[in-house]
Amino acid sequence: MKRIKIGNQFEASAIALGAMRMSGKTVDEAEKIVLTAYENGIDYVDHADIYGGGESENVFSKVLKRNPGLREKILLQDKVGICKGYYDASYEHIMEAADGCLKRLGVDYIDALLLHRPDALMEPEEVAEAYTRLQAQGKVRFFGVSNENAAQLMLLDKFMPGKIIINQLQFSICHSILVDEGVNVNMHTEHAQVLSGGVLDYCRLKDITVQAWSPFQYGMFRGVFLGSEKYPELNHLIKELSEKYGVSDNAIAIAWILRHPANIQAIAGSMNPKRIQEICAGGDIQLTRQEWYRLYLAAGNPLP
Ligand SMILES: NC(=O)c1ccc[n+]([C@@H]2O[C@H](COP(=O)([O-])OP(=O)(O)OC[C@H]3O[C@@H](n4cnc5c(N)ncnc54)[C@H](OP(=O)(O)O)[C@@H]3O)[C@@H](O)[C@H]2O)c1
């Protein structure tokens, strides 16, 4: 499994396990999922306080309790700031929500805490104060955000220089906005629209690790593109490459994300141990430049 530097601060597996879909699992099932991921090279787990209304964290905490020593072997990330009907990046909310995460996970500290979505009413000074306090208290080691553009990152950086080391964004072969705008600069095409504000390049410049959420989905939770009749050309090519590399289709889809030189970390959300094992094989594949572009085009993306 490929390993990457997170924000130039610490090392982790290039594929992480996302716990968004863990809430419906029994502790036995969750244990199998987590241990399969770990045995196949994943040492990073992504949570959010809203996943299953906190239930994903609860189930996961029972897995940790059953497996003494596991906590120290893996890196734990959590996200806060989404409330019912609004977003909240206030000092009070971040502090209270972080404590809730620690309690439900049953741990003393987490390795990374992220603001889940940009809050239009965010006051960066408050985020800085909360992050500084949580770090001083030893509750959180590192900080990040999710779904933010370059200007939003710059705004936070003004108040806490260098402190944001992660930005989690949606990215897959079929949701490739992060690279679309870069290859279509100055064109009159739909793909030239600047939808993410050059955030991928900004993150590279600032040593902020981009984490790719929903690596197998098209649209926002509209479905999995693997095997979908909406993407016949893409699936045909994925099959060709999976035969070439001797891996499954999901490994090729992950390898496409990992091939980008930004050293993106892919957050896979499968709760199926067999699939997790298959996905991890993608962490050992280096697609060629031509294969990367062929996949990009086969998903329906144009090049000027
Ligand atoms: N920051 C944000 O705003 C945000 C938003 C969404 C998600 N996330 C994070 O990203 C993680 C991943 O998101 P996601 O679960 O939507 O992404 P995903 O890994 O693209 O999708 C996983 C889902 O696809 C299904 N699936 C069907 N066929 C598959 C195949 N061949 N290979 C792999 N999966 C297949 C899985 O089912 P099985 O379980 O049966 O395999 C599972 O339900 C989440 O757990 C969460 O940590 C963050």
Which residues approach ligand 1 with their CB closer than 6 A? Answer: 18-21, 46, 116, 146-147, 168, 213-217, 224, 226, 250, 267-272, 275
> Whose C-alpha lies nearest to ligand 1, atom 28?
224
Q: How many Å lie between the centroid of ligand 1 and the Cα of residue 19?
A: 9
Q: How many Å lie between the centroid of ligand 1 and the Cα of residue 239?
A: 20
**Non-local CB neighbours of 221 within 8 Å, separated by 6+ positions:** 214
Q: Which three-class secondary structure state does DSSP give residue 285?
A: coil
- How many residues comprise the chain? 304
pLDDT at 293 over 90: yes
For the segment 147-195, what is each residue's pLDDT rounded down to a tens digit? 999 999 999 999 999 999 999 999 999 999 999 988 988 888 888 777 7
Average pLDDT, the chain: 96
Q: How many Å lie between the centroid of ligand 1 and the Cα of residue 304?
A: 31
Best probe residue, ligand 1, of 77, 79, 214 (max atoms within 8 Å of C-beta): 214
Best probe residue, ligand 1, of 75, 216, 218, 280 (max atoms within 8 Å of C-beta): 216
The backbone torsions φ and ψ at residue 75, rounded to the nearest 5 degrees and listed phi first, read -105, 130
Residue 46, CB half-sphere, CA atoms under 13 Å: how many?
Answer: 30
Residue 238's pLDDT is: 98
> Whose C-alpha lies nearest to ligand 1, atom 5?
213
For the segment 56-67, what is each residue's pLDDT rounded down to a tens digit? 999 999 999 999
pLDDT at 2 over 90: yes
Q: How many Å lie between the centroid of ligand 1 and the Cα of residue 264?
A: 16
CATH label, 9-298, candidates 3.30.70.990, 3.20.20.100, 2.40.50.140, 3.40.50.150: 3.20.20.100
DSSP element (H, E) containing 72: helix 70-73
Q: How many Å lie between the centroid of ligand 1 and the Cα of residue 92?
A: 31
| Domain boundaries, given as residue ranges, for the chain | 9-298
Nearest to 242 by CA among 275, 285, 283, 213: 285
pTM of the model: 0.97
For the segment 197-250, what is each residue's pLDDT rounded down to a tens digit? 899 999 999 999 999 999 999 988 889 999 999 999 999 999 999 999 999 999
Q: What is the mean pLDDT of residues 123-150?
A: 97
* Beta-strand runs (E) in 47-204: 75-80, 82-83, 86-87, 110-115, 140-146, 164-170
Percentage of the chain modeled with pLDDT above 90: 92
Residue 187's pLDDT is: 85
Residue 117's pLDDT is: 98
> Whose C-alpha lies nearest to ligand 1, atom 46?
18
Q: What is the mean pLDDT of residues 70-92?
A: 98
For the segment 255-288, what is each residue's pLDDT rounded down to a tens digit? 999 999 999 999 999 999 999 999 999 999 999 9
